[in-house]
Chain A
Amino acid sequence: QVQLQESGPGLVQPSETLSLTCSVSGGSITSDYYWGWIRQPPGKGLEWIGTIYKTGDSYHIPSLKSRVTISVDTSKNQFSLRLTSVTAADTAVYYCARVEYFYYYYMDVWGKGTTVTVSS
């Protein structure tokens, strides 16, 4: 049974870079799925950030495209999110998810989420 676990700093300074990692266990990141990041600001709804495949093929939400980088490390069975020039608006719970992409297009396994606060 595949499990995902987010990790990274819980506090990031404004204008700095947010870096999170999602570790995949119980399965291989090289299997036929995409892997994604979704966030949820306090008291608000879910926002899809982006997804990546084992080959490095990736997609991002257009509004964040200039600040976001998603990468994959198949040797570590992990994928990562990097968001530059953060502001308070980037404060959120960040979830990683496994994404079914080749038939039905949905997130089928979710991590528990990690809270990131942008504050000085």
Chain B
Amino acid sequence: QTVVTQEPSFSVSPGGTVTLTCVLSSGSVSTNYYFSWYQQTPGQAPRTLMYNTNIRSSGVPDRFSGSSLGKKAALTITGAQADDECDYYCAVYMGSGIWVFGGGTKLTVL
């Protein structure tokens, strides 16, 4: 069973840069995986941030960027702001109609 691992928590200073990662536990490094990223504030539904690794969803500022290499994807926030403090989830499409979410990263901006 594939596990998708994210850092449980991360901290960044206001104005700073942070990179969150998402790593698959299995699969081939040569496979083209479809990574997506979601942002969730407490009590709210997730908001789609990024898809196909590095395409920003509508309305997402360009200080959010994405990248991937093999079985690892990254979400970078440049110039972190106070309202970036929330949970971030990655999801990976594994093929055959199956998605797997990572455990999420709680980002603190302080």
A residues whose Cβ falls under 8 Å from a Cβ of B: 36, 38, 45-48, 51, 58-59, 61-62, 95, 100, 103-113
Per DSSP, chain A at the interface is: strand
Interface band, chain B? 20 to 34
Distance in angstroms between the alpha carbons of A103 and B51 in the assembled complex: 10
Q: With contacts A46-B101, A46-B104, A100-B51 known, is A105 near B45, CB below 8 A?
A: no
Per DSSP, chain B at the interface is: strand
For residue A40, give the distance in angstroms from its CB to the closest CB of chain B: 8
Distance in angstroms between the alpha carbons of A106 and B46 in the assembled complex: 12
List chain A residues, Cβ under 8 A from B47: 110
List chain B residues, Cβ under 8 A from A62: 1, 98
Distance in angstroms between the alpha carbons of A108 and B36 in the assembled complex: 10
Interface residue from B46, B52, B55, B57 paired with A46 (Cβ < 8 Å): B46
List chain B residues, Cβ under 8 A from A38: 46, 101
